[in-house]
C-alpha cells in the first residue's frame, strides 16, 4: 500500500506545516495522521532500557508505535504542549480535520512507517536480531503523539483495525469530546485522560480552549470513566508554578473521587519543544517533588503509590496492590529499580536541557 498524501495539502498552507513536521522526523500518513519514533524505542533497542509504560503496564517498548490520527488538530493551546501550531505564514482550521482517511489504510501505513523508523537498527552491533525482528512487528500503539485523537471521526473503527492485528491500543485524549467516548463501539485497550487544570479558571489560563465549554466537557468525560470496561488512567502533568499548591490537591481530590480511574499517573512537565517559549525551565519539577505531591493526592483520594519511574519523572497511583494488568512481557515491573536517574530519560542531562 502506498502512502498517499492528500493532493490538496501539497498546494495549501498546510504544506509548510507538513514540511516542518518532516524535518522534525514525523512520518506523515495520508491527510491527517503521523508516526514518530519514540525516544524509548531507541533506548530499548540499543541499551535494553524500557519506558515507564513497560514498568507500569507491561508493554514491550521496542514494539510500540507512537502515533496520531490528528497531528495538526486540537481544541486547546495548552502552555506545555509541543504540537506544531499555526504561524504567521501558515494558517488552517484547527478544530476540524480536512477529511477522514480510511482507518484500514491508516493502520497499515502506521505499521509500515514504524518499520521504516526502526529499519536502521538492523546494522547496530548493540541490537540483538531478536529485538530487531520484534520491533518490526509492533504489538502496541500509543494514540498520543500530538493533537486530539477524538477529532478523527472514525476513531472506534481505527481502534478496531489495530485490534484485528492483535495490537493493544492506548488512546490518550484531553477529554473534550465526551459524546465520542460515550458512544465508542470498540473501547481501546486502555483509556488515558490527560489533564493539568482543576477549575474553570485554571483551565482557561493554562489550556487556552479554542472551542466552547471544554472544561465542562472534560468533567463529563471524567464522570464517564467508571462506565468503561477497559482500564482507565488520569494523567496529571505537574507544572511547578501552576498546579502544585494545596488548593490544587483539594480540587483534584474531588475530581478524582468521581472519576474513579484504575490508575493515576502524576508526571512532571518536561521543558522541551515549543513549550520552552511559554514556560520556564523552573516550571519543571524534580522527581522528588512529583513524588511528594503524588503522596498528598494518594492520601486525599485513598489510592496507593505503587510504582515510579525516575527517568520520566512519573509516579503511579492505584487501588490495586500488585501489577495484574500487563500487556506484554518486558523484563521490568512495578518494583524493579529504574535504569538511571531523572536526568537519564527523555529530558537528558541537566546541561543539555538549558
Strands 27-29 vs 232-238: parallel, antiparallel or unpaired: unpaired
State how many domains the chain has.
1
Q: Quote the pLDDT of residue 12.
A: 64
What would the mean pLDDT of 313-327 be, rounded to a whole number?
A: 95
Phi, psi of 100 (to 5 degrees): -130, 100
Indicate whether 2 belongs to any domain. no
On whether the CB atoms of residues 98 and 152 are closer than 8 A, the answer is no
String of DSSP letters for 325-336: --SS--S--TTS
Q: pLDDT at residue 88 above 60? A: no
Q: pLDDT at residue 236 above 80? A: yes
C-alpha to C-alpha distance for 153 and 169, rounded to whole angstroms: 17
Mapping DSSP to helix (H, G, I), strand (E, B) and coil, where does residue 209 land? strand
Q: Quote the pLDDT of residue 354.
A: 27
Torsion angle in degrees (nearest 10) through CA of 279, 280, 282, 288: 30
Q: Is the pTM of this model over 0.75?
A: yes
* Environment class of 24 (CB within 10 Å of its CB; exposed 0-12, middle 13-18, buried 19+): exposed
C-alpha to C-alpha distance for 63 and 134, rounded to whole angstroms: 6
Q: Quote the pLDDT of residue 353.
A: 33
Please enumerate, as own/partner, the contacts of 296-304 that have beta carbons within 8 Å and a separation of 24 or more. Answer: 296/249, 297/236, 297/249, 297/252, 297/253, 297/256, 297/264, 297/266, 298/264, 300/249, 300/250, 300/252, 300/253, 301/253, 301/256, 301/257, 301/264, 303/264
Rounded percentage of the chain residues whose pLDDT exceeds 70 = 92
Residue 339 banded pLDDT, cuts 50, 70, 90: confident
Q: Residue 192: enclosing H or E segment and its boundaries?
A: strand 190-195
Residue 90 banded pLDDT, cuts 50, 70, 90: low
Indicate whether 199 belongs to any domain. yes
Indicate whether 197 belongs to any domain. yes
Strands 27-29 vs 33-35: parallel, antiparallel or unpaired: antiparallel
Q: Residue 204: enclosing H or E segment and its boundaries?
A: helix 200-206
Torsion angle in degrees (nearest 10) through CA of 211, 184, 59, 57: 80
Indicate whether 208 belongs to any domain. yes
C-alpha to C-alpha distance for 72 and 266, rounded to whole angstroms: 26
On whether the CB atoms of residues 146 and 84 are closer than 8 A, the answer is yes
Residue 352 banded pLDDT, cuts 50, 70, 90: very low
CATH code of residue 125: 3.20.20.70
On whether the CB atoms of residues 45 and 330 are closer than 8 A, the answer is no
pLDDT 10s digits, 164-194? 999 999 999 999 999 999 999 999 999 999 9
Instruction: Give which of 273, 271, 278 is closest to 237, Cα–Cα.
Output: 271
What would the mean pLDDT of 60-74 be, rounded to a whole number?
A: 96
**The C-alpha cell of 66 is what?**
507512537
**The C-alpha cell of 92 is what?**
488552517
Residue bearing cell 533497542: 45
CB atoms within 10 A of CB 4: 12
Higher pLDDT, 228 or 96: 228
Q: Reduced to 3 DSSP states, what percent helix, strand and coil does the chain have, rounded to the nearest 5?
A: 40, 15, 45
Q: Quote the pLDDT of residue 135.
A: 98
| Domain span at 159 | 7-352
Indicate whether 1 belongs to any domain. no
C-alpha to C-alpha distance for 269 and 239, rounded to whole angstroms: 6
The angle formed by the CA atoms of residues 313, 315 and 316, to the nearest 5 degrees, is: 145
Amino acid at each position: 500500500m502506498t502512502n498517499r498524501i492528500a493532493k490538496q495539502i501539497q498546494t495549501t498552507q498546510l504544506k509548510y506545516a507538513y514540511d516542518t513536521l518532516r524535518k522534525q522526523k514525523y512520518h506523515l500518513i495520508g491527510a491527517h495522521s503521523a508516526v514518530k519514533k519514540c525516544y524509548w524505542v531507541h533506548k530499548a533497542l540499543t541499551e535494553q532500557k524500557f519506558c515507564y509504560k513497560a514498568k507500569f503496564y507491561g508493554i514491550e517498548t521496542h514494539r510500540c508505535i507512537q502515533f496520531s490520527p490528528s497531528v495538526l488538530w486540537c481544541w486547546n493551546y495548552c502552555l506545555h504542549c509541543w504540537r506544531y501550531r499555526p504561524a504567521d505564514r501558515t494558517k488552517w482550521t484547527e478544530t476540524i480535520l480536512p477529511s477522514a482517511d480510511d482507518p484500514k489504510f491508516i493502520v497499515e501505513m502506521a505499521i509500515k512507517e514504524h518499520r521504516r523508523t526502526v529499519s536502521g537498527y538492523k546494522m547496530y552491533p548493540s541490537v540483538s536480531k531478536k529485538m530487531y525482528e520484534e520491533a518490526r512487528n509492533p504489538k502496541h500503539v500509543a494514540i498520543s503523539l500530538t493533537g486530539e485523537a477524538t477529532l478523527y471521526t472514525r476513531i472506534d473503527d481505527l481502534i478496531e483495525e489495530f485490534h484485528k492485528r492483535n495490537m493493544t491500543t492506548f488512546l490518550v485524549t484531553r477529554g473534550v469530546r465526551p459524546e465520542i467516548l460515550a458512544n465508542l463501539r470498540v473501547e481501546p485497550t486502555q483509556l488515558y485522560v490527560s489533564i493539568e487544570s482543576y477549575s474553570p479558571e485554571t483551565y482557561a489560563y493554562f489550556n487556552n480552549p479554542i472551542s466552547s465549554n471544554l472544561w465542562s466537557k472534560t468533567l463529563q468525560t471524567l464522570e464517564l470513566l467508571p462506565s468503561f470496561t477497559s482500564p482507565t488512567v488520569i494523567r496529571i502533568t505537574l507544572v511547578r508554578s501552576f498546579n502544585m499548591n494545596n488548593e490544587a490537591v483539594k480540587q483534584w481530590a474531588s475530581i478524582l473521587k468521581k472519576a474513579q480511574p484504575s490508575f493515576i499517573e502524576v508526571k512532571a512537565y518536561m521543558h522541551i519543544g515549543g513549550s520552552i517559549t511559554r514556560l520556564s525551565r523552573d516550571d519543571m519539577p524534580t522527581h522528588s517533588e512529583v513524588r511528594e505531591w503524588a503522596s498528598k493526592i494518594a492520601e486525599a483520594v485513598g489510592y496507593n503509590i505503587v510504582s515510579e519511574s525516575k527517568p520520566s519523572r512519573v509516579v503511579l497511583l492505584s487501588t490495586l496492590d500488585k501489577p495484574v494488568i500487563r500487556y506484554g512481557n518486558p523484563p521490568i515491573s512495578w518494583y524493579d529499580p529504574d535504569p538511571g536517574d531523572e536526568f537519564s530519560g527523555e529530558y537528558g542531562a541537566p546541561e543539555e536541557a538549558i
